[in-house]
Chains A and B, each alone.
Chain A
Amino acid sequence: MTDVPARAPTDWGSSEMTGRIARRYAAERRFRWIGLGAILLSAGFLALLLFTMVSNGARGFTRTEVRLDVDFAKAALFLDPATVRASGDKAALAGSDLQNVVSKAAEARYGPKGARLFADTAWLEVLDAIESDPSILTRTATLWLPASTGVDIAAKRASDAEAERTYEGLRAGNAVRTRFNSGFLTSADATDPAAVGVWGAFKGSLLTMLVTIAIAFPIGVLSAIYLEEYAPRNRWTDLIEVSINNLAAVPSIIFGLLGLAVFLNVMHMPRSAPIVGGLTLALMTMPVIVIAGRNAIKSVPPSIRDAALGVGASRIQVVWHHVLPLALPGILTGTIIGMARALGETAPLLMIGMRAFIATPPGGIADPATVLPVQIFLWSDEVSRGFVEKTSAAIIVLLVFLMAMNGVAIYLRNKFERRW
């Protein structure tokens, strides 16, 4: 037992030892600083992104209005306030030449180029004003009407000299103001940047997401359950597993081509409709949900399965009563990631025709629609300069939508999470 030579006692105070300790501490400090740097860098980028978006986009939510006094008595509209009030005489109102009234009044007030100060759609607001208060037809009314894109841009940022001069003139006369543009949230796409709204694209996105989750979530979760709990382990299930993993990594535009070929060309579904967009995105989202679902199911401790089987639960009872409730938070996390990706997806939707110009919000999943990211893409491509702010504003709407969706999912996840 004594053939092992006795070791010299360790000298913990030697310079070699202290040097090693110093190096160890240095390495630790270094690592901590690098980690902190990485966090700060990414937080900085995020802050920069949000700041740019918000500072640009905030102006997209406002519109410039120019004051106009309209003397309806002189305008010879041949409209009786009493009739309008009683019957809501829309036909007579719409048939009357309000456009002309506006341009006449504008020219009278602001000179020969006065009509150009107002948006093409300004007369619609005059119509609304008359509808809400027909009595103005007998007198001179002061209305704030949407400014033309030129004035709007001049109000918001540096513009060409002439527009700036016009704007300064208006401002000097207290004839211009900036107001929240509720129309941006309630109307759909338009050719005039002053009249565009994001509601059409928002609703399109909403419908598309509903179709996506209605298809992808049940199919994804059921596939995950089958693969984890029922499928035998053999070459076929290995093949399926590899295929699903590969599918999750396929570029999204390929799914667009698939949607184009299958849903449009073979099944003849309506073009540009949320149903097709939703199905296409569901194909893309499903593998993500399957992978997340399988991992979540795998992480449910086998002892819970044993416990349930031990009191005589059948396999389906084990799954529905125990495995699924415990796996649900994990499945929901995967679903959030998949849905967030689907919500921001543009390429596959371009392939199935969702890039069309659609000026009315979709009424259902089979109506032509566009979605927020595609709308942003289209607006960013516009030559008309008034779309710059609108693009940023639409991005903000998209981000808010995304955050709301994630918020709901996180709420659900926390609700279903159980402590051990």
Chain B
Amino acid sequence: MKLMVDEENRAVTDVSEALPAAEAAPGAADSSPKMRARGVNVWYGEKQAIKEVSIDVRPEHVTAFIGPSGCGKSTFLRTLNRMNDTIPSARVTGEIELDGEDIYSSGMDVVQLRARVGMVFQKPNPFPKSIYENVAYGPRIHGLATGRQELDAIVERSLKRAGLWEEVRDRLTESGTALSGGQQQRLCIARAIAVDPEVILMDEPCSALDPIATAKIEELIHELRGRYAIVIVTHNMQQAARVSQRTAFFHLGELLEYGETSEIFTNPKVERTKDYITGRYG
């Protein structure tokens, strides 16, 4: 689908071009987006869940999607690695590119796409297998390791990056489901980064966790930022402000505002955003 810019509504959606110098994050000089969405619409049957969303996801940045419940943040997130394909009634139009390559084109292999665009879910969902197997599963099915030693190294590195290694190094054979909620979520993050993705999508990764586990995950997101492009959906305003460099505000399936997190939180340009952030709405 061609990019159709409705000037009134969309003038603010693509402010990334307008604010090139204000980046605080490392790697800001790289102005080519990692993922680029143009005029994306999603329907569930007759109901339109996402309306004409255009957004750029920058590499080595954390992008937060905020907005009231049912506004389509998660739906949009799931279009970025085609997880909506599993819902029979879902239909996606528009263009989404990963490194300039259309991910909905017939040439794109969805299995490879999901390896390149990893995902962490709202509820920690480790496989009912050992901790080791949880992390090794992705590299194994994609053939990323040639031998046991290499696989061991990948598992160790992934668990270290996810900040879980010290806690589980002596019990890698125990079931992943025996860990605490926060540890399970970090295990899921380790599982996602074990296949060396370029983008990590996180769908409210802390909503089922206590504050301490949440703080650990946020810390982890900070550390991962330099390596991956991270997109995080969150209901927690403070979290969005803490972890992200850029924030997108969704409302009723539309992207109302997108820009620097500091800008969105201190000086929102759209009235609705201001109402939502200040807690008067949503």
Is B177 interfacial (CB 8 A cutoff)? yes
Q: How far is the CA of A299 from the CA of B51 in the complex (A)?
A: 34
Is B276 interfacial (CB 8 A cutoff)? no
Q: Are B125 and A303 in contact (CB under 8 A)?
A: yes
Return chain A residues, CB-CB under 8 Å to B127.
Answer: 304, 307-308, 322
Q: Are B177 and A311 in contact (CB under 8 A)?
A: no
Q: How far is the CA of A305 from the CA of B142 in the complex (A)?
A: 17
Is B35 interfacial (CB 8 A cutoff)? no
Q: Are A309 and B83 in contact (CB under 8 A)?
A: yes
Return chain A residues, CB-CB under 8 Å to B115.
Answer: 311-312
Select which of B126, B138, B177 is within 8 A of A419 by beta carbon: B177
Q: Are B118 and A311 in contact (CB under 8 A)?
A: yes
Is A420 interfacial (CB 8 A cutoff)? yes
Q: How far is the CA of A383 from the CA of B113 in the complex (A)?
A: 75
Q: Which of A78-125 contact B (CB under 8 A)?
A: none
Select which of A310, A313, A321 is within 8 A of B81 by beta carbon: A310
Q: Mark A275-311, 1 if CB is under 8 A from B, else 0.
A: 0000000000000000000000000010111111111
Is A326 interfacial (CB 8 A cutoff)? yes
Minimum CB–CB distance for A355 against chain B, Å: 48
Q: Mark B158-195, 1 if CB is under 8 A from A, else 0.
A: 00000000000000000101000000000010011011
Q: Are A311 and B128 in contact (CB under 8 A)?
A: no
Is A314 interfacial (CB 8 A cutoff)? yes
Q: Are A307 and B126 in contact (CB under 8 A)?
A: yes
Select which of A303, A309, A420 is within 8 A of B114 by beta carbon: A309
Q: Are A317 and B125 in contact (CB under 8 A)?
A: no
Return chain A residues, CB-CB under 8 Å to B22.
Answer: none
Return chain A residues, CB-CB under 8 Å to B120.
Answer: 310
Select which of B123, B128, B194 is within 8 A of A326 by beta carbon: B128
A-B contact count (CB 8 A): 69
Return chain B residues, CB-CB under 8 Å to A233.
Answer: 88
Q: How far is the CA of A369 from the CA of B113 in the complex (A)?
A: 57
Is A418 interfacial (CB 8 A cutoff)? yes
Q: Are A311 and B192 in contact (CB under 8 A)?
A: yes
Is A19 interfacial (CB 8 A cutoff)? no
Is B121 interfacial (CB 8 A cutoff)? yes
Q: Which of B105-124 contact A (CB under 8 A)?
A: 111-115, 118-121, 123
Closest residue on chain A to residue B188 by CB atoms: A307
Q: Are A420 and B137 in contact (CB under 8 A)?
A: no
Q: Are A310 and B121 in contact (CB under 8 A)?
A: yes
Closest residue on chain A to residue B116 by CB atoms: A312
Is A232 interfacial (CB 8 A cutoff)? yes
Q: Are B118 and A310 in contact (CB under 8 A)?
A: yes
Q: Mark A337-365, 1 if CB is under 8 A from B, else 0.
A: 00000000000000000000000000000
Q: Are B121 and A306 in contact (CB under 8 A)?
A: yes
Minimum CB–CB distance for B232 against chain A, Å: 15
Minimum CB–CB distance for B102 against chain A, Å: 18
Return chain B residues, CB-CB under 8 Å to A308.
Answer: 127, 137
Return chain A residues, CB-CB under 8 Å to B137.
Answer: 308, 311, 313, 321
Return chain B residues, CB-CB under 8 Å to A306.
Answer: 83, 86, 119, 121, 125
Is B141 interfacial (CB 8 A cutoff)? yes
Closest residue on chain B to residue A232 by CB atoms: B88
Closest residue on chain B to residue A312 by CB atoms: B115
Q: How far is the CA of A340 from the CA of B138 in the complex (A)?
A: 40
Q: Are A420 and B81 in contact (CB under 8 A)?
A: no
**CB contact under 8 A between A310 and B128, given known A233-B88, A305-B86:** no
Q: How far is the CA of A342 from the CA of B141 in the complex (A)?
A: 40
Return chain B residues, CB-CB under 8 Å to A326.
Answer: 128
Closest residue on chain B to residue A317 by CB atoms: B141
25 contacting pairs across A/B (C-beta < 8 A): A301-B125, A303-B121, A303-B123, A303-B125, A304-B125, A306-B83, A306-B86, A307-B126, A307-B127, A308-B137, A310-B119, A310-B120, A311-B114, A311-B141, A312-B111, A312-B138, A312-B142, A312-B195, A313-B111, A313-B141, A321-B141, A322-B127, A419-B128, A419-B177, A420-B128
Beyond the given A311-B141, A313-B137, please list 9 additional residue pairs across the A-B interface where CB-CB is below 8 A: A303-B123, A306-B121, A307-B191, A310-B118, A311-B118, A312-B112, A321-B137, A419-B177, A420-B177
Which residue numbers of B lie inside 8 Å of A, CB to CB? 81, 83, 86, 88, 111-115, 118-121, 123, 125-128, 137-138, 141-142, 175, 177, 188, 191-192, 194-195
